[in-house]
Amino acid sequence: MLKSLVAGNIARYRKAKRLTQEELGKMLGVTYQAVSKWETEQAMPDIVILPQLADILQISVDKLLGYYPPVPTSGRYDALYGNEEYYMGVNPTSECLKVISLIPPNKHMKLLELCCGEGRNAVFFARCGYEVSAMDLIDAGIEKTKRLADIANVNVNAFKADINDYRLDTKYDILFSNGAFHYINPELRDEIITNYRDYTNTDGINAFNVFIEKPFVDKAPDIDEHSSPWLSGQLLLFYHDWLVEDFSEYIEDCTTGSKYAVNQIYARKK
């Protein structure tokens, strides 16, 4: 298990840094064959190399080894997702239907949901015929995603990852996220969205919504000292050179009686 995690992390973060195996090997004083063996689970890097390797890939040794320490919000979601029932229910959000209308699964298409929660949207997409992967930081959410997929008799590749550290190294036709981007560190937004753009196939869709700061409107329920709302229109700036199928700003009614502001974008790569 550890060898598999390390192999995947080395390959993922090396590609995110746009390094070849040979270039990484030279930086570490090893051959490209050694790097290749690490990435194909044939060998593990020597323990004395790990700090230098992690430094080059700009991650911690813990992250390189697949250990994700709890973030301040994880306790809350561990509690919410830890119950037998599904916190947000099992029915998909309306954003899923918009995605299907823009890029229907009439051929093989790969979809990744970022911060999938308990899996209701990911499982719905899989039931519709997409090849679905889904990531989240909360163990209980990943387990409930897998459980829901089993009940629906579909396959969802659900895995644990931190949205601030995870970088794509595989191209997708659809990237989807609903109500999670406030957890992206503002200093990393440009790097992360650029990575998402780079790993979206031509004619693919990015479908995201973000909580935004607006005067006279309450903060979204998940906004606290560990997260940051976006500015109105900020998300749109990242997609000025894509075909924006839809962009909207609206006020969402919360179950607690408060109201909060959201930007929603559906952008197509041309």
What CA–CA distance (Å, rounded) separates 217 from 47?
52
**Residue 118, pLDDT score:** 94
Domain(s) of CATH 3.40.50.150: residues in the chain: 74-268
Instruction: Give residue for tokens 């607006």.
Output: 214
Give strand pairing partners of 260: 252
Domain(s) of CATH 1.10.260.40: residues in the chain: 2-64
Query: If phi over 0 gives left and psi between -120 and 50 gives alpha, with beta otherwise, what is residue 87?
Result: alpha
DSSP 8-state symbol, 230: B
With 0-12 / 13-18 / 19 or more C-beta atoms within 10 angstroms meaning exposed / middle / buried, residue 231 is middle
Contact criterion met (CB below 8 Å) for 86 and 92: no
What CA–CA distance (Å, rounded) separates 106 from 128?
10
**Residue 78, pLDDT score:** 66
| Residues recorded for the chain | 270
Q: What is the pTM of this model?
A: 0.75
DSSP 8-state symbol, 220: P
Mean pLDDT in consecutive groups of 10 residues from the start of the chain, 270 residues? 80 87 95 94 92 92 73 61 76 96 97 96 98 94 94 96 89 96 91 95 98 84 79 96 96 74 96
What CA–CA distance (Å, rounded) separates 112 from 116?
9
The CATH number of 2-64 is which of 1.10.10.10, 1.10.260.40, 3.40.50.2000, 3.30.2270.10?
A: 1.10.260.40
Structure tokens at 81: 């997702």
Instruction: Give residue for tokens 């396959």.
Output: 155
* Amino acid found at 14: R
The CATH number of 74-268 is which of 1.20.120.160, 3.60.20.10, 3.40.50.150, 3.30.420.10?
A: 3.40.50.150
Strand order in the sheet with 156-160: 156-160, 131-136, 110-114, 172-177, 200-212, 259-268, 243-253
**CB-side exposure of 220: number of CA atoms within 13 Å?**
23
**Residue 15, pLDDT score:** 86
- Alpha helices (H) in the chain, listed in sequence order: 2-16, 21-28, 32-39, 50-57, 61-64, 74-81, 94-102, 120-128, 139-152, 189-198, 234-237
